[in-house]
């Protein structure tokens, strides 16, 4: 069953069960996906539908941060409940270990050697982490790994600098 079909079936279940929050959240996602379909002039693939879901979750996470900063705990709770509903349709999130392994593989595969290669590494990683890890977090991990590589190459190129920085 496609993601689209699953969400539409769950809207009907939520309507029959009187679960208005779930019904409204799933309708909102379905509407967002429909808008993208109209824009592209064709039905979405499961990966594209997943991208819509991921974007909806990201928007709600940003709202949670804003509402928390504004002291609106009632809205934080509502947005968090919506995130929980949407998360049921996302693939299992990657663990830190799995994510670090993918970052290392991406750096090896792309031959990245410095922070200038961030885009190349992210281009390789994005389709593999979509919906399974926060893009900002992935980017931070890649930037940190590339910085370590960059520093190691500078230290190897200049042994005197490496000796001075360790003392």
- How far is residue 125 CA from its own chain's centroid? 11
Residue 164 has pLDDT above 60, yes or no: no
DSSP helix/strand/coil, 41: coil
96-166 and 3-87 share a CATH fold: no
Lookup: tokens for 109: 């595969």
- Please check whether the domain covering 96-166 is classified as CATH 1.10.10.410: yes
Q: Around Cβ 163, how many Cβ atoms within 10 Å?
A: 10
DSSP helix/strand/coil, 1: coil
d(CA 69, CA 77): 13
- The pLDDT tens digits of the residues spanning 12-62 come to 999 999 999 999 999 999 999 999 999 999 999 888 898 899 899 989 999
- How far is residue 153 CA from its own chain's centroid? 31
The CATH architecture annotation of domain 3-87 reads: Orthogonal Bundle (1.10)
Alpha helix (H) ranges present in 70-113? 73-87, 96-110
Label residue 18 left, alpha or beta by phi (over 0 means left) and psi (-120 to 50 means alpha): left
Model pTM?
0.68
Extents of the domains making up the chain: 3-87, 96-166
Q: How far is CA 72 from CA 29, 60, 123, in A?
A: 24, 14, 37
């Amino acid at each position: 069953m496609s993601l689209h079909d699953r969400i539409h079936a769950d809207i009907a279940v939520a309507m029959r069960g009187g679960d208005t929050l779930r019904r409204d959240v799933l309708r909102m996602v379905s509407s967002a996906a429909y808008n993208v379909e109209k824009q592209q002039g064709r039905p979405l693939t499961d990966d594209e539908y997943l991208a819509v879901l991921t974007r909806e979750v990201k928007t709600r996470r940003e709202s949670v941060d804003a509402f928390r900063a504004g002291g609106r705990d009632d809205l934080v709770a509502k947005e968090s409940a919506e995130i929980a509903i949407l998360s049921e349709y996302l693939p299992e999130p990657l663990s830190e270990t799995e994510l670090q392994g993918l970052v290392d593989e991406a750096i090896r595969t792309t031959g990245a050697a410095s922070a200038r290669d961030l885009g190349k590494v992210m281009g390789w990683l994005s389709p593999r982490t979509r919906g399974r890890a926060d893009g900002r977090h992935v980017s931070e991990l890649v930037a940190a790994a590339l910085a370590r590589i960059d520093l190691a190459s500078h230290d190897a190129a200049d042994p005197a600098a490496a000796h001075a920085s360790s003392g």
